[in-house]
Amino acid sequence: MARIGSRSSNSRSPRTSGALWHVLCIAVSVAFVVAGWWLSALALNTPALPTPDVALGLFVQFAPTMGPDFAISFGRIAVSLLIGTVLGVPAGLWLGQSSRAGQLLTPALYILYPLPKIVLLPILLVLLGLGSEPKIALISLTVFFQVVVVMRDAAKNIPEQTILSVRSLGGSRWDEWRHVILPATLPDLFTTLRVSSAIAIAVLFFAEAIAGSTGIGYFIMNSWAMVNYPRMFAGIIALALLGVIVYEAFDLAERRLTRWKR
């Protein structure tokens, strides 16, 4: 029994030590960011950049006021990421796996992908109005092209021998997608979604600041216009918090859906 208990304890120790190391890394990273923030605030000595303790107090103070705007911005980001991903994944995989489709549509992709999608905002405002629709459409387009390009390249880079091995075992086309193509491209998808989430939040800020009356972007610019820097900084923290939530959600989903990587 003692040996069994000893083995059980030893089997848990690597996992426990890994969790402690992860917590330690987070603590060190947070301390590094806070220290840099504090030094910058002391060096600049401006109301627009309060020290971390003051900024946290301001965030708590204005949190009830920002609640509705935060919910609106979060909903716009969530819906946009969903639309861009659902449309971009099959399109990118199709371009990567079909040589004819790639030859026909890749030139159009090269023309549209480098175009800054934010320049389409005036057109979308004319077509869809001033509500959430043009903002969601703009962010969805941004995410769509990011996902299409990455998924196309990921699908093209799958070794042909891997697919042929599935066919030689009598696997169907669905088996190829299920056991080879989708697992091989899933890590690339989460990588581009993490990158796209930061770009999407930046586009959201511009869209809400330029043409909006709701959302965190509008909250920040409205505070700036009123020269209310504490309120503005509370909005900046809220927008950063939104980015952290989205990023961590993708990180959690990747750990659960790509366990075979570990």
Per-residue pLDDT of the chain (262 residues; tens, 9 = 90+): 445 444 444 555 566 666 788 778 878 888 898 899 899 989 988 888 888 888 888 889 888 989 999 999 999 999 999 999 999 999 999 998 888 888 888 888 888 888 889 999 999 999 998 888 999 999 999 999 999 999 999 988 888 777 778 777 777 777 778 778 888 889 999 999 999 999 999 999 999 998 878 899 999 999 999 888 888 888 999 999 999 899 889 988 888 888 776 6
pLDDT of residue 229: 84
Q: What angle do CA 40, 42, 45 make, to 5 degrees?
A: 100
This prediction has a pTM of 0.84
pLDDT for res 124:
92
| Per-residue confidence (pLDDT) for residue 6, from 0 to 100 | 47
- The pLDDT value recorded for residue 23 is 79
Q: How far apart are CA 149 and CA 89, in angstroms?
A: 9
| AA letter at 139 | I
pLDDT of residue 181: 84
Question: Who's near 84: CB < 8 A, 6+ residues apart?
Answer: 139, 140, 141, 142, 143, 144, 146, 147, 196, 200
